[in-house]
Structure 1
Amino acid sequence: MMETKELKNLAAGLDALAVFRPLLADPVLAALKEYLDAPSAGRYAAFVAALYEANGGNLGRYVLRLCEDSANVYVRTVGAGQTPPAYMAQALAAELDCLQRVADLGPDALLAALPGSAASLPRYEAGGVDLSGSYTHRAQNIHRYGYGVWAANRMFYLDEAGRITPVSHPDATCLDDLVDYEAQRAIILRNTRALLAGKPAANILLTGDAGTGKSSAVKAIGNALFSEGLRIIEVRKDQLRAIPHVLDELAANPLKFVLFIDDLSFLKDDDNYSALKAVLEGSVTAKSNNVVIYATSNRRHIIKEKFSDREGDEVHRNDTMQELVSLSERFGIHITFSKPDKATFLHIVRHLAAAGGVQLPADELERRAERYALERGGRSARLARQFVDGLLAEM
């Protein structure tokens, strides 16, 4: 059982944190530190309450997560491909030892400073983690795990100020949820795996009819390759001018990124067109080796063409038409998602219905699916999903 003097020594160790100093602002560790400095029943209860709120009451797992998610100077140095100086590595080892003692700090050890109060105070779990081993493993594989906000999140977006922000509830679509279009997804997967392997990878333009699964394919691949070091950052069309800044911010990051632009199209005089064109052709910044751009569009040529664009003299008309297709050609890979025919549509419906547990005779399922599609003017993977979701709602 830990004596009061040992608790004071542990408090002093936390005070001396340098590499992990930002952790002292964490509400759970801050509450624990207050108790270690001046034990009381109220401070103990406040610490346990904060731990309950944080993860249900397991101190070991909580401290492990704090360490793994910390974007401290040591892990940033490793992530940038540099070797931290020896004195920083020594400080890291000492601090991990201190934090290991925190992770192992059970309620009995804390309550030893409050004789006679233990029976009435709440309990929690501790221990069961190896901070040094886990941290060493993650540092050695930082290209897969990342650090800080990148370690805990798989999808991001640019907020109104252009800051990269985690998506709180990301789309959970997985590859097994997608039916047909295997050839198209295989191309995206192959290109993305090349990116993860440090090989040349192309920007991809996915075009085709609405609802055919272009966006779902990108998100599913992001989910599938998260553990291999892939992160998705969604960029709206009106944020394209922020891409050079984003590329600069990601340049030293050990992970690989897909900048995802959904439903891309421009009018011919749209300023955002020029911004994206400059990024794709590399006239704004050097080509990044850890970022690619995947864009979806319902149009083969991203710039909306007006009939007036075809008018004028021959030279002007040719220049205008060339400009209309030039942006599409700046994507290294172009993949088309065509609207499914009847057989493909019904295959998607049968797959989704079976996965959802829909109990209908095959002929009735197909008859109702076809009627549903005809009433809505066509077939698509999205429409198949909506139809099956409707059946599930009736169950």
Structure 2
Amino acid sequence: MENQAELLARIAAALERLSPPPESRIAWVGRPAYVWDGQTGRRVGHIEAPSLELLRGIDRQKAAVTANVARIAAGHPAHDMLLWGSRGMGKSALLRAAVADAQDKGGNIALVQVATDAVSTLPDLFAELAKVERNFLVFIDDLGFAEGDTTSPRHLRSWLDGGVEARPENVRLAVTSNRRAILPRHGSEQDDPINPRDAVDDNLALADRFGLSLGFHNASQDDYLDILRGYAAEYGLELNEAEALEWAKRRGARSGRIAWHFITELAGRAGKRIR
């Protein structure tokens, strides 16, 4: 009778034969978008995004982002982008919509979303994308760093500008964040008895690496209603503006996301599909 060690070895070998082989490196062509998990890319067959016409109340930001993405798609000089500010005002939706629009117009560009826990592997991603005859917008949504993490922000600064592992010419970065400086700020920065300005400058240094920085702010009542009117017209829904304002009041905010939640409610009542 075989001993326990031999039995375990045979079981392990059998399981290894049954397991699928490691996923090979993808070609990074043929699909509009990909997701990078830190080790490999996963193909995405369709970019989920509203049409640019439905993104209202952010006209200035929309014009700047779409123009910059068009430059990336054409292989022209373009900026890395930081989109910061209020939640739910369309930062990530605008990036996705701009890339989809550039693709519809024949641009040679793909969107690559990086998981927030895979930011440290950006050099590996850059090494793969640099070999491809295609332009890429690498997208990090809702970027933040753990309290006390000074290494990751410094690496990202280096990858953006000036480091030996800086992103290749066919790649630009786009980051969304609720904070303009990305990093958390503390009142104690101003209390540094040695040089308070140094602490502030160090935290702002990462944000300064982005050539295009755009702020997104809470929607006014008029902007909120304009967003709703656009959605309602697009999907053939009857809009009660008083009810829409009450919906936002109960949620304590007016934003594109809150407007979409209300449109979802209206579509559900009417039994209409909205995607």
Q: Same fold (TM over 0.5)?
A: yes
**Unmatched tracts of structure 1, length 5 or more:** 1-70, 72-146
Q: How far does residue 286 in structure 1 lie from its aligned partner after superposition?
A: 4.6
What does residue 171 of structure 1 align with?
48
Q: How far does residue 236 in structure 1 lie from its aligned partner after superposition?
A: 2.4
The whole-number CA distance in structure 1 between the counterparts of 2:49 and 2:184 is 32
1:128-152 deviations in Å (ceiling 9; x for gaps): xxxxxxxxxxxxxxxxxxx95521x
The whole-number CA distance in structure 2 between the counterparts of 1:381 and 1:157 is 25
CA contact (8 A) 2:57 2:224 kept: no
Letter in 2 for 1:277: R
SS of 1:371 mapped into structure 2: helix
What does residue 387 of structure 1 align with?
262
What does residue 34 of structure 2 align with?
156
Q: How far does residue 382 in structure 1 lie from its aligned partner after superposition?
A: 0.7
Find 1:366's aligned residue among 233, 241, 244. Answer: 241
Tell me: CA distance 1:324–1:335, structure 2 relative to 1, closer, same or farther (3 Å): same
The whole-number CA distance in structure 2 between the counterparts of 1:276 and 1:348 is 35
Q: Does 1:210 align with 2:210?
A: no
What does residue 119 of structure 2 align with?
240
1:341-373 deviations in Å (ceiling 9; x for gaps): 00111111111111111124xxxx110011000
Q: How far does residue 162 in structure 1 lie from its aligned partner after superposition?
A: 2.1
Tell me: CA distance 1:212–1:164, structure 2 relative to 1, closer, same or farther (3 Å): same
The whole-number CA distance in structure 2 between the counterparts of 1:224 and 1:243 is 26
Q: How far does residue 387 in structure 1 lie from its aligned partner after superposition?
A: 0.5
Find 1:329's aligned residue among 208, 211, 229. Answer: 208
1:227-282 deviations in Å (ceiling 9; x for gaps): 42110111123212211111111112111100101111224631321221110123
The whole-number CA distance in structure 2 between the counterparts of 1:304 and 1:155 is 30
Say how many residue pairs are matched. 243
Tell me: CA distance 1:204–1:172, structure 2 relative to 1, closer, same or farther (3 Å): closer
Q: How far does residue 328 in structure 1 lie from its aligned partner after superposition?
A: 0.6
The whole-number CA distance in structure 2 between the counterparts of 1:168 and 1:193 is 21
The whole-number CA distance in structure 2 between the counterparts of 1:252 and 1:294 is 20
TM-score normalised by length of structure 2: 0.82
Letter in 1 for 2:158: A
Tell me: CA distance 1:236–1:310, structure 2 relative to 1, closer, same or farther (3 Å): farther
What does residue 97 of structure 2 align with?
220
The whole-number CA distance in structure 2 between the counterparts of 1:178 and 1:256 is 25
Aligned residues: percent identity? 30
CA contact (8 A) 1:240 1:275 kept: no
The whole-number CA distance in structure 1 between the counterparts of 2:138 and 2:216 is 20
Letter in 2 for 1:302: I
Q: Does 1:357 align with 2:232?
A: no
Find 1:284's aligned residue among 164, 167, 184. Answer: 164
CA contact (8 A) 2:74 2:107 kept: no
Between 1 and 2, higher relative CO (CA 8 Å, sep ≥ 6) is seen in 2
Where does 1:1-395 land on structure 2 (aligned, <5 Å)?
148=27, 150-151=29-30, 153-159=31-37, 161-167=38-44, 170-226=47-103, 227-267=106-146, 269-270=148-149, 271-315=151-195, 317-360=196-239, 365-395=240-270
The whole-number CA distance in structure 2 between the counterparts of 1:169 and 1:229 is 15
Q: How far does residue 172 in structure 1 lie from its aligned partner after superposition?
A: 4.0
Where is the helix percentage greater, Structure 1 or Structure 2?
Answer: 1
The structure number with the bigger radius of gyration is: 1
**Unmatched tracts of structure 2, length 5 or more:** 1-24, 271-275
What does residue 118 of structure 1 align with?
none
CA contact (8 A) 2:49 2:97 kept: yes
The whole-number CA distance in structure 1 between the counterparts of 2:266 and 2:153 is 42
The whole-number CA distance in structure 2 between the counterparts of 1:292 and 1:207 is 17
The whole-number CA distance in structure 1 between the counterparts of 2:169 and 2:55 is 29
SS of 2:253 mapped into structure 1: coil
Letter in 2 for 1:245: D
Q: How far does residue 294 in structure 1 lie from its aligned partner after superposition?
A: 0.5
Letter in 2 for 1:247: F
Tell me: CA distance 1:284–1:174, structure 2 relative to 1, closer, same or farther (3 Å): farther
Letter in 2 for 1:343: D
What does residue 24 of structure 1 align with?
none
CA contact (8 A) 1:268 1:324 kept: no
